[in-house]
Each structure stands twice: as C-alpha cells, then as structure tokens.
Structure 1
Amino acid sequence: MSRTVVDGPDIAFVAALLGDASRAAMVTALMDDLRLPASELARLAGVSKSTASEHLGRLVDNGLLATERCGRHTYYRISGPLVGRALETLAVLAPQRAPNSLRSARRQDELARARLCYDHLAGRLGVAIADALRQRGALREEDGALHVDPGAWDANPPLGITCEAVRVGRRPLARGCVDWTVRRHHLAGALGAALTQRMFELGWIRRRRDKERAIALTETGVEGVTDAFGIGEALMAAVASG
C-alpha cells in the first residue's frame, strides 16, 4: 500500500504528542505559565516519575515544553504563548468530560468562571472583560478575529495600561482566544497579559489554590472590575459566586 504524502506542517505529529492522556494532562497543567518539577507533573498526570520523565523529554525535544534550572532542580514550562493558544483552541473542539465527583464538578465550574490561559484571563470573566472593551470601542471583532483600536484604547486606557507601554517585541497587542466555556473570544496578546498582571497586583484576582489555573475574584476585585469595565451586576454575580 502506498503511503499518502501531504506537503506542509505535520499536524499529525503534534496531535500524536498530545494524543497521549498523560502528556496532555501535564501540558494542560502548565497552561497558566507555571513552572513545575517532574515529580509534581507526574502526580498530576497519575503516572510514575520515570514515565513522566520519558513523556516530558519528548515534549521538550519537540518544542512544546521548555526547561529552567534552579540550583539542582529542573522545572518545566510551556515553551511560549503559541502552545497555550493551540491548547485552548483544542479545548474548544474537544468534548467536555462529565464530572465523576462533586469535587470534579466544583473544579470544572471554577475553571468555567475564571481561569488563566497561559498568561491572560479566560472563562466567563475573561469573556466579559473582552465584551466590555468591545462595547467601549477599544476592541473590535472582524472576520472572526479580535483587534485593538490603539486610539480608542489609549483614550481611556483600562487600568492605566496603554498600547505603547506594552508594545515590546513581535507579540501582538491584542488577539482573540476562542474560549471553550462560552465559545466567544477572551483577550490574549500583550494587552491581555498586562491587564491580568495588573489585576493580580491590585489584589482583584487570586489563584483559588496553589499550582492551579482556577482564578477567584476577591471582594475588592468584584467592585474594581465592575467599576473599571462596567460589567453588569448579574454577570458579575455569576462570575464571582462560589
């Protein structure tokens, strides 16, 4: 039987890397730009340390993960925002697992409310902020993509963050990430990352638990986000409760 040859990127190769449930679990655990050791990733994936090391080696060798040394310890992280973007896009296409316990159901709900997608906010909170910025004209959606209007953005810069302040390197100022929670865009890119970092600094958001992606709004954050972005009380209640 002749082999089918397809020109261009080998999508099947990357799909095979993520097609293993253990590897997919480890990469997903790093989607919020965390740095974790192999032992922690093995625990999260439910595999032995030796099996985790083999999987992690493949992911590093093929560019999905990168390593950082700290003394005698090695930490793993996602190699860059393109990997986080690909994973979030796959999550939109993937069927959602039915929770198998009350704990699993609670965590799924927490991730749907607000979570980190690499270095920016996702979930209903991230989508609500992107919607609010569209309504004020700072963002616009064209041809299924999210764009920033620098003039409109800087005329009333959210949280004091201007386009010029975050215009570094070749990373786009704004990019839409289709959110698997509600199938609409949340804000990625340099501006999305800067807004998220500023919200952490202000104490408006915090991780619900150490080394997990789920984000909680603090009491100060509920008031701050409502005032800064003009998000309605009903939506804020749905995002903030729990």
Structure 2
Amino acid sequence: MKFLHIRQTSYSVISGLMLLLTAWGCGSSDSKTESASATSALKSAETKSATTAKKPIVLFYGNSLTAGYGVEPSQAFPALVGQKIDSAGLNFQVVNAGLSGETTAGGKSRISWVMRQPVAVFVLELGGNDGLRGIPLKSTRQNLQAIIDTVRLKSPQATIVLAGMQIPPNLGTDYTREFRGLFKELADKNKLVLIPFLLEGVGGIPKLNQPDGIHPTPAGHKIVAKTVWKVLQPVLQ
C-alpha cells in the first residue's frame, strides 16, 4: 500500500514552506519514476480486484508530498495511513497516485486515466506548485474544480477529501491570502471534507525535514499521516 486547523504561521514555518514549494517545482526530475510507480500501484489494484474480493479504494492524488519524495514508499504518509486503516480493521485498499512536480493542470490532464476504476475515497492534494509559480488563482480553481467534477462523474459515490496548503508571502499578501482561502471555498462549494493545512506541525521544522530542509523525513511523514488520519478516520468509519 503505498496524504488541520489553520494557525498563524511563524516566519520559520513560512521559510520552510517556501523551500518546500520550491522543491515541488524542482521535483519533476523524478516524475517518470514516480509516474511508473503510480501506474504500477493502479495496475496492482486492478489485478487484485480481479483475483480476490475487491476492497474499496482510498486513492491519494497529489504531488511530491503524496508521492513520498526522498523516502521509501512505505514511509510516505499514504502508506502510513494504509497501516492505520489495517490496524483499525477497516476494509479498504490504499493506492498512491502521487507525482512529483505535479500542478493542478497536470492533475487535470491525467485524472480520467487514473479514474478508470471506481474509488470509495479520493484524497486530493494539489495546488502547491501553482502557488509557487504564481499561476493565476482562477486557473487553479478551475483545474481543481475540473478534477472534482471528473471524480464525481467517474465515481458518484466517492467521498472527496481536499488537502489545503499555504504558501509564503513572496507573491504578495493578497495572493497568499486568496490562495490559502481557495481550498475552503472549494470544499464549501462542493461539500468536500477538508484538511485545512496538510503540513501542520511539519513545515519549517528542521528535524522533521530531510537534509535539504525541504521534504519531510519519515518522522515528518508520520505527523502528516496523523493529521490526515484525524480527518479520514471518521469518513471511513
């Protein structure tokens, strides 16, 4: 098996997030490997469903955070959430469809392929790279909405969980504030389950990030998994 109330963010956290978002933008060098990994995971899920009693799928769809950049697949937070699901005795299968460097436009372009089979829960973690690149927020909203619409079309019964993100204020306070708010706006509009801030308690904390000071360590992923589990567990139960 292979992602939070928003608090006032300190300067150190903002700095860490700036580095993290930069890493997302630079993480595309591993995209082919992680795309192959995501493809393999999806094919594995399809094979298992054809040979065994099919378990409902919890699909994590995002960028380098979801893909587990720089850590073993088993250490990435989707896999850790999968372990929590098993420990709780819940009958779900976790699939990691994360891809480093992914933007909302990229996510929109591949969502139909990923949604070839129905899912029970869809965890959407995209938007950070858009914020880093200063992409107009109108486009980010439209792309995320298109992804949500496609999931609803392909799996009408699925519960969609949206993971919120924050960005540093280097693009101006208005852009930063609107970016942070768009996740709640989309969640309210579409009646989604919201994780207000995916990196709560991790962003900007050196000991919870890898030597590059950017990506979460295995310990950091454990905290992210707890944050996600707090929101996801009631959905699955």
TM-score for both structures, normalised by structure 1: 0.28
**In terms of Rg, which structure is larger?**
1
TM-score for both structures, normalised by structure 2: 0.28
Higher RCO (CA < 8 A, seq sep 6+):
2
